[in-house]
Structure 1
């Protein structure tokens, strides 16, 4: 089976998926906290908030198979589709849970997408104050049948896996991985070189460890700079664009 990028010499073979083995990886993920803040503004007590959340739950898509028993921070990405592509998911395909091997890598991904959001929003792009958002970072454990794009023979296709804009090859590999029952894909971080990320295709890979080490981070994004700061310690990462 050849990858989607015919202009490159690298091709991959569907038989390689038979050599995939079980692997594990601690993984960090960050989610925006604004939604919970918004719902709390509508109520006066914890009981009212719980009732509101139950009402909202009935309007959401049903949980996909395999998500039973998972914390919402783990099952939410599988619940929704998006018209916009990500590195291993075509538009409107089943959701993927993305995580990274370090907090810095999570911050780098956050910075990239916040900056993209600023540039795509005409009003925000003109606002020197930019956008201030609160995020929850947490850690969990990914464990399952894994495709490792950083190991032979897959690593020979590295230029395709780390392409910053063309996701054709990674889309093709992920689609084939699903056919072969692969639970997650290990790959090199594009935004934070030297670290690794996990693209979890199946909730099976997240059943071993609930979220832990929850942290609050603040992100300030403008058209020229993104700064991500730990709310308590003050640890800061920044990127200039």
Structure 2
């Protein structure tokens, strides 16, 4: 079911950007673990794998300014544009690195988008067994000029920032934030209320600490339920839809 856009008489003031200030957060991010497995299936040796990876790298878009020297887990979201929107990015706009303050929040976001993928895929939507995927979760430090949508004066627009489906307001405020030199946005998670996320607009905000704390998680997704399980500890989060 699609949530209807909301109309609230709210507009931010240009002066509000003066409240932006340097801030930091240790953030978790999850990525699907498939690239290395997929390429190793095509080769017979390490030398062939290195050659294949080199060819693939040459075919990719050049790294945007500020990404040189970053780990690929940090620069990849900035490298590509997408015709599909996200909460703070309009279709085909510059990429954004999304992270969250806790593993549970990352898993909640992952569960939402895996479920959306199932519903949007006609074949998978009919498959009672659903989809099983492997994901790597990791941490890094987000540090730089920040806008905090959970604090005054920005929290006056909370109903807009936390809308479940209408991203027009968050996309507009992110575009304006770039103009004012904001490097990352702190905001409330919609999929795991009460926790916080980071939308990193500039790779400069990811330069202080390389990825660390790698974990492997398995995600089982069906039309009715998503279960995310840590491979080693067995820690499990689940959501019914």
**TM tier, shorter chain?**
over 0.9
For 1:119, the equivalent position in structure 2 comes to 119
Displacement after TM superposition at 1:49 (Å): 1.6
CA displacement 1:8-56 (0-9 Å, x = unmatched) = 1221012211221000000000000112211111122333222211110
Verify the 8 A CA contact 1:28 1:138 in the aligned structure 2: yes
The change in CA–CA distance for 1:132 and 1:6 in structure 2 (over 3 A counts) is closer
SS in 1 for 2:57: helix
What is the alpha-carbon distance in structure 1 between the residues aligned to residue 123 and residue 15 of structure 2? 50
Superposed, which structure 2 residues align to 1:154-165 within 5 Å? 154-165=154-165
What is the alpha-carbon distance in structure 2 between the residues aligned to residue 178 and residue 184 of structure 1? 9
For 1:200, the equivalent position in structure 2 comes to 200
What is the alpha-carbon distance in structure 2 between the residues aligned to residue 11 and residue 216 of structure 1? 42
For 2:187, the equivalent position in structure 1 comes to 187
- Poorly superposed stretches of 4+, deviation over 6 Å: none
For 1:218, the equivalent position in structure 2 comes to 218
CA RMSD of aligned residues (A): 1.1
Displacement after TM superposition at 1:6 (Å): 8.9
SS in 2 for 1:31: strand
For 2:85, the equivalent position in structure 1 comes to 85
SS in 2 for 1:146: strand
SS in 1 for 2:227: strand
SS in 2 for 1:165: coil
The change in CA–CA distance for 1:192 and 1:6 in structure 2 (over 3 A counts) is closer
What is the alpha-carbon distance in structure 2 between the residues aligned to residue 185 and residue 212 of structure 1? 22
**TM-score normalised by structure 1 residue count:** 0.96
User: Which stretch shifts more, 39-48 or 123-132?
Assistant: 39-48
Q: Which blocks of at least 5 consecutive residues in structure 2 are unaligned?
A: none
Verify the 8 A CA contact 1:184 1:205 in the aligned structure 2: yes
Verify the 8 A CA contact 1:184 1:201 in the aligned structure 2: yes
**TM-score normalised by structure 2 residue count:** 0.96
Matched, 1:107 2:107: yes
Matched, 1:24 2:24: yes
Verify the 8 A CA contact 2:6 2:166 in the aligned structure 1: no
For 1:177, the equivalent position in structure 2 comes to 177
For 1:52, the equivalent position in structure 2 comes to 52
Q: Which blocks of at least 5 consecutive residues in structure 1 are unaligned?
A: none
SS in 1 for 2:175: helix
The change in CA–CA distance for 1:12 and 1:124 in structure 2 (over 3 A counts) is same
Number of residue equivalences: 237
